[in-house]
A = this chain, B = another copy of it.
Amino acid sequence: MENVTPIKSATLSDDLAQQLTQAIVEGSMALGSKISEPELAKRYGVSRGPLREALVKLESLGLITRTANVGARVIDLKVSDLMDTFAMREALEGMAARQAAESMADEEIQALYRLLDDHQMFLDNNQDEHYTSQSGNEDFHQRIIQGSQNQKLIRLLNQDLYATIQLYRRHTADSRPEPRQALREHKAILDAIANREGDLAELLMRRHISRAANLLKKAMLQESVVNEKSSRHSAQK
């Protein structure tokens, strides 16, 4: 029952920001479409005040663009933006891996090994179940990020970049065709962290993300027709 007001947060503005983010990522708000404040306010049953605050937040998340006296639009999907985002992710998560190697607790590392074992078992049993494989992948990255203990980094990756990456994933054919390869890379990264080799951990994480970026890019270019269509029929109004 995700539909109408799923979670009751402290403030309407926060709620809205969350719901709108979800709506954009899930595609129920067409990419590139104009956002009408009165319409949205009516649809969510709130006044324009909190809505506008939510829009300001979404703008700084990079999910919408706003121009003064004109209005807001949902962002468009562009390959160049995707590559830009992944370059940043490569740099930042690489740094996260380095810092995790320096400051992650031993028991956390052990827990991560268990996570990877579970993932391995899952792959052996079910031949390829992309969805959970995907969530397992995210879990690994999440824990590395957390392990960096760099608060600024955690916030940036989890709040600012996360939605964007989700958005691109959601709008391209599910890309993660080689879960076993990904798992091997995860294991190598974790080994480096366990050995407290920050340089190596960073290097491996960067290669890992760079590889994923290339796969995503290829997938996106192949179905660029789809993107064209979806961004075109919704570009105006």
Contact = CB atoms under 8 A, between A and B. Distances in A.
Nearest to A92: B91
A153 B99 contact: no
A88 B153 contact: yes
A37 interface: no
B151 A69 contact: no
Interface stretch (A23-31, A49-57, A109-117): A49-57
B88 A92 contact: yes
A88 B154 CA distance: 10
Interface in A22-67: 49, 52-53, 56-57, 60-62
Copies in the complex: 2
Contacts of A80: 151
A178 B152 CA distance: 28
Give chain A's interface secondary structure class.
helix
Given A57-B60, A88-B95, A10 B69 contact: yes
Contact of A91 (B56, B95, B151): B95
Contact of A14 (B61, B68, B87): B68
Contacts of A152: 62, 81, 84-85, 87-88
Nearest to A80: B151
Nearest to A9: B68
A150 interface: yes
A49 B56 CA distance: 12
22 contacts: A10-B69, A11-B69, A13-B56, A53-B53, A53-B56, A60-B60, A60-B61, A62-B152, A81-B152, A84-B150, A84-B151, A84-B153, A85-B152, A87-B150, A87-B152, A87-B153, A88-B92, A88-B150, A88-B152, A88-B153, A90-B95, A156-B156
